[in-house]
Amino acid sequence: MALGGGTFLTQNKVLPGTYINYISLARAGVTLSDRGIVACPLELDFGEEDKVIEIDSIDVMKECYKLFGRDYSDDKLINLRELFKGAKKALIYRINGGGNKAAKTEGGLTVTARYSGERGNDIKIVIQKNIDEQSKFDVTTFIDTKKMDVQTVSKIEDLKENDAVKFTGTGALNVSAGIVLAGGTSKVVTKEDYTNFLNVMESEYFHTLCYAGTDNSVKNLFVEYTKRLRDEMGIKFQTVLYRKSDADHEGIISVENKVLGDNVKESDLVYWVAGKEAGCDINRSLSNTKYNGELEIEAKYKQGELIKGLNSGKLIFHKVDDSVNVLDDINTFTSFTLDKNEDFAMNQVIRVLDSDAFETARIFNKRYLGKVQNNKAGRIAFWNEMVSLGNETQKINALEDFESKDVEVVIGADKKSVGVTKYIKPVVAMTKLYVTTVVE
């Protein structure tokens, strides 16, 4: 019979033998998360409905036709391109889904667009005899001139749905130069649609949220949503709106400049700002960043107007030689107090604070919640993680003067609770220069 062996919890084994436990030396493993995720409701004429469409900057060009029925360079997708001037990933929600799907019946075959919307009216099905097998047919699906799918089949029942359409019916196929779908429409958007969108986004993770409309009741909806999630639930993100400086909250960014031109909305600059704010690292600022999008921006302001705008919490673009630049990377918070001073109006400061809050929660929830005992050793381990987090943030110049003594971890009000106090000093980019020149 073999001697005893294995692992042990307490030294209470009966059999003679060797019992060995292997444990890791306690060490902090803090890695700061990347930024770059924007959540955005878009009015689209094709695409999935009642669902978040997740797409990143690497795949957006090749996936565009499949997801939205258009090439990435299409004029109707300019707002998507504006988002990706700064965002690494977009969570797109088709806000005007729920309309009619384009369809057409010819003989025993019925073709229905996969999604509702006007773009379905540009879908065409071409049916030709197969060159190699005359008993079969090549069925090609086009959106406009883009070939989406080709199937070689003998009868209607053999057809499979593709990214553009669904086929139904039975019987023989007939040669056709083009079965053109019709009747596709998009729904008129209501405030309730935005409420549904916000409810869906509550379970998603993102850095910025945006609404590029001018309806003040909808803007108020986004403001209250942002305040509730940030202040009551601890979900840290910022929302970009058009001309909503009266929000007076560090979580709301108000874009002041109007967009000029045809086939655009005056508030469309929101998309560029939302993407850029999402992708801006915690050790960077958008102050003096050059606008590199496709829109024409109204940016003629007098110096007095710029001063008044900044004091009112407006994010403003202004002319700098031949370019249009962000004047100062600020949010709408203006009611400064001893507890919340003017530092909270700087978006770079908010990015640092939000990052610290997110990383702290992530570390605790992943490694400590329900896993580590709330004793001195457990609290020292968590303190070590918090110090490591501060040091990592300081390494990338997002904090300064941070020392281990700036973190305190103590037992909380009950046996399950841990209390943490941190003292941190965010670093921001230079924006003002004062020079005294002494002439001798």
For 358-412, the pLDDT digits (tens) are 999 999 999 999 999 999 999 999 999 999 999 999 999 999 999 999 999 999 9
| pLDDT of 32 | 85
Q: Which of 153, 180, 207 is the last residue of a domain?
A: 180
Q: Does 8 reside within a domain?
A: no
The contacts of residue 204 (CB under 8 Å, 6+ apart) are: 39, 52, 91
pLDDT digit string, tens, across residues 154-199: 999 999 999 999 999 999 999 999 999 999 999 999 999 999 999 9
Q: Do 197 and 281 belong together in one domain? A: yes
Determine what percent of the chain is predicted with pLDDT higher than 70: 93
Q: Do 143 and 277 belong together in one domain? A: no
- The values of phi and psi at residue 190, to 5°, are -120, 170
The contacts of residue 415 (CB under 8 Å, 6+ apart) are: 374
Residue 29 has pLDDT above 60, yes or no: no
Residue with tokens 């908010």: 350
Local structure of residue 333 (DSSP, 8 states): -
Residue 275 has pLDDT above 90, yes or no: yes
Q: Which of 180, 208, 242 is the last residue of a domain?
A: 180
Q: Do 83 and 139 belong together in one domain? A: no
pTM of the complete model beyond 0.85: yes
The contacts of residue 374 (CB under 8 Å, 6+ apart) are: 411, 415, 416, 417, 418
Q: Does 163 reside within a domain?
A: yes
Beta bridge partners of 259: 297
Burial of 333 (0-12, 13-18, 19+ CB in 10 A): buried
Q: Do 237 and 311 belong together in one domain? A: yes
DSSP per position, 186-249: -PPP-HHHHHHHHHHHTTS--SEEE-----HHHHHHHHHHHHIIIIIS----EEEEES-GGG--
Residue 286 has pLDDT above 80, yes or no: yes
Q: Does 235 reside within a domain?
A: yes
Task: Evaluate whether 113 touches 165 at the Cβ level (below 8 Å).
Answer: yes
Burial of 271 (0-12, 13-18, 19+ CB in 10 A): buried
d(CA 170, CA 11): 74
Local structure of residue 82 (DSSP, 8 states): H
d(CA 316, CA 88): 24
Q: Does 14 reside within a domain?
A: no
202, two tokens:
């509550």
Q: Can you give the CATH number for the domain in which 171 is found?
A: 2.60.40.4290
Q: Do 311 and 252 belong together in one domain? A: yes
Question: Domain range for residue 128?
Answer: 103-180
pLDDT digit string, tens, across residues 254-268: 999 999 999 999 999
Q: Which of 326, 347, 365 is the last residue of a domain?
A: 326
Local structure of residue 256 (DSSP, 8 states): -
d(CA 149, CA 294): 32
Q: What sign does the CA torsion over 308, 311, 316, 320 have?
A: positive
Residue with tokens 């989406």: 148
Q: Do 145 and 252 belong together in one domain? A: no
Who wins on pLDDT, 7 or 169? 169
Q: Does 86 reside within a domain?
A: yes
| pLDDT of 369 | 96
Q: Do 227 and 311 belong together in one domain? A: yes
| pLDDT of 1 | 43
Q: Can you give the CATH number for the domain in which 298 is found?
A: 3.30.1490.450
Which helix (DSSP H) or strand (DSSP E) does residue 179 occupy?
strand 176-180
| pLDDT of 217 | 98
Task: Give the CA distances from residue 368 to residues 14, 22, 361, 381, 422, in Å, rounded to whole numbers and listed in that order.
Answer: 33, 19, 10, 9, 18
Local structure of residue 158 (DSSP, 8 states): G
Q: Does 205 reside within a domain?
A: yes
Residue 9 has pLDDT above 90, yes or no: no
Q: Do 108 and 88 belong together in one domain? A: no
- Rg of the chain (C-alpha set): 29
Beta bridge partners of 106: 109
Burial of 214 (0-12, 13-18, 19+ CB in 10 A): middle
> Looking at the 3D structure of the chain, how many domains does it have?
2
| pLDDT of 428 | 97
Q: Do 210 and 308 belong together in one domain? A: yes
Task: Evaluate whether 41 touches 71 at the Cβ level (below 8 Å).
Answer: no
| pLDDT of 2 | 54
| pLDDT of 23 | 52
pLDDT digit string, tens, across residues 67-110: 999 999 999 999 999 999 999 999 999 999 999 999 999 999 99
Q: Does 344 reside within a domain?
A: no
Look over the chain and give the mean of its residue pLDDT values, rounded to a whole number. Answer: 94
Q: Do 221 and 305 belong together in one domain? A: yes
Q: Do 83 and 114 belong together in one domain? A: no
Task: Evaluate whether 114 touches 161 at the Cβ level (below 8 Å).
Answer: yes
pLDDT digit string, tens, across residues 234-252: 999 999 999 999 999 999 9
Q: Do 255 and 316 belong together in one domain? A: yes
Q: Does 371 reside within a domain?
A: no
